[in-house]
Amino acid sequence: MPAQDPQLATLFAEALPSEERDLAARYAPILCFDRREPFLPLAGGVTLFRQDGESPSFPRRIELSPPGQPSATLAIEYAIWWDWDIQHLYELEHVWVYVDGQGRVVRVEASWHGGYHEMAQDGQPSLRHGQARVYSEPGKHAFAPTPDWFRRRWQAQKRHASDALAGAGGVWVTPLFEEELRDQRTPENNTLVRTYLLRQAFQPSWDFSQEFRLQPDQLVPWPALAQWIPQRVRWWLDRLHREIPAGEYRPLRLRSASIPGDPDRAGRVRDGQNGESLEELRARLDPRVDALHVPVRATADGQAIVRDGALVQDLDGRGVMIHQASLAQLQALDAPGRASLLLLEQVLELSRQEDVGLYLEILDGEAIPAIVQAYDRYDLVHRAILGSFRADWLAALRDQLPRAATALLFDTVQVDAVALAQAVGADYVHPRWEGKAQASRLLTPEWLARVRDAGLGVIAWPESRPEEAARLERLGVDGLYLAG
């Protein structure tokens, strides 16, 4: 137990009955970690099964003797707790050890990114000297029978959880603790978690010689661990608030998707193109970018496209209103050498491929059905913020997507953005004050305190003046645009 951790002492006082504790300690799995792994387990919630039944901590049924598997008389479920996953606050992974009537381990299963699988090599359970032996993914802690599983995932990813994506998940809220913790997933708390975890970012060594085994005093009844977890999460958030000043916050770093076909501030349309290609958009991403700010409009037939301006030029330079033409009609305006219109689906797929977040600015309410339809398919709950100048559109999104993070944009200092954001259940306020003289000074300490007291986050505007951008970051905003 870490020194001077009274919360852990309180948890460990909830001891298992001696017989269950002895069994759980005897069969506790050997966990193999990367040599550079910063986070090791703190506790294990134990449930014993002597007959088939539903797991209390994982969405599955435990079967002692399923068809085609060796028969077991006992299954021990270890719900293993970490304070931290490299991407978010708190982690709960599972190992299931199945024991036969002779006391032999006949099967081992473990959790893997929301599912579970058998821990076997060449058809045999992964054991060492009769004990279950599993490998833990660097930073993420999912379990596998061999580290090769982690290397394959690493090679397939453009950005990696243990470095570029450290802290990206913020305060993790799973269905298991939705009721107790959903109010803790605030923008500022997510910023605190991001700031803390980016300090722990690391490159795996791929040397899994760091072995760990839960000790008897770390094994507690699952109900005790389940009751303790929300308290622990709140304890960590209180600690981060005390230890990380606003001037050290690491904001979400946004980059605007520049759409060449849109008029610039002088009203000129660059190159006569109708839009930016997918590869040009991909080129705007670099390791510093956390999320891409993407404007979304809808065609007359309800297709969502990525576009700032409301017009598309035909071959003679005449403007065609996007909301008055079908997608096919707009695509017919394209010609060789002109970039095609980008569909929202293409950008969502790019986001998934590149492991980059999205800030979808809704410029047409008719695009909302397409966003709602794509929300679960692209796992946007963990990937996107949905923003708009229209409070009524945000209210409609809140009704249809209650878990979505939303942002209220506004461009005047006269509006009471805090009250309006609260009225429609938004998560962020987003002033668009680029170009205003000393705009950062409009974010007064009193205004920021009111925002924070309301549980809201602040996304700043794109700022090209270095001194203004630096002041915004010192204020402790939650989102900041990168130049370029």
DSSP 335-373: -TTSPPPEEHHHHHHHHHHHT-EEEEEES-GGGHHHHHH
Distance of alpha carbon 322 from alpha carbon 344, whole angstroms: 14
CB contact at 8 A, 45 and 194? no
Distance of alpha carbon 197 from alpha carbon 217, whole angstroms: 28
Long-range contacts of 16-20 (CB under 8 A, 24+ apart): 16/46, 16/219, 16/220, 16/221, 20/46, 20/48
Q: 125: which 2 tokens?
A: 């359970």
Distance of alpha carbon 158 from alpha carbon 354, whole angstroms: 6
pLDDT of res. 275: 53
Phi and psi dihedrals of 151, rounded to 5? -60, -40
Domain map (residue ranges) of the chain: 6-244, 249-481
Task: Give the residue ranges of the chain where pLDDT is below 50.
Answer: 1, 259-274, 337
CB contact at 8 A, 194 and 110? no
Core vs surface per residue 344-367: b (16+ CB within 10 A) or e: bbbbbebbbebbbbbbbbbbbebb
pLDDT of res. 382: 86
Distance of alpha carbon 186 from alpha carbon 192, whole angstroms: 10
Q: 173: which 2 tokens?
A: 């809220």
pLDDT of res. 262: 42
Q: 143: which 2 tokens?
A: 């379990």
What pairs with residue 151 in β-bridges?
none
What predicted TM-score, i.e. pTM, was given to this entire model? 0.92
pLDDT of res. 483: 80
Q: Dihedral sign for Cα 21, 56, 229, 249, please.
A: positive
CB contact at 8 A, 361 and 430? no
CATH superfamily of 249-481: Phosphatidylinositol (PI) phosphodiesterase (3.20.20.190)
Between the CA of residue 436 and those of 23, 80, 172, 463, 468, what are the distances in Å? 68, 52, 37, 10, 11
pLDDT of res. 276: 64
> What is the dihedral angle through the alpha carbons of 468, 469, 470, 474, rounded to the nearest 10 degrees?
100
pLDDT of res. 17: 95
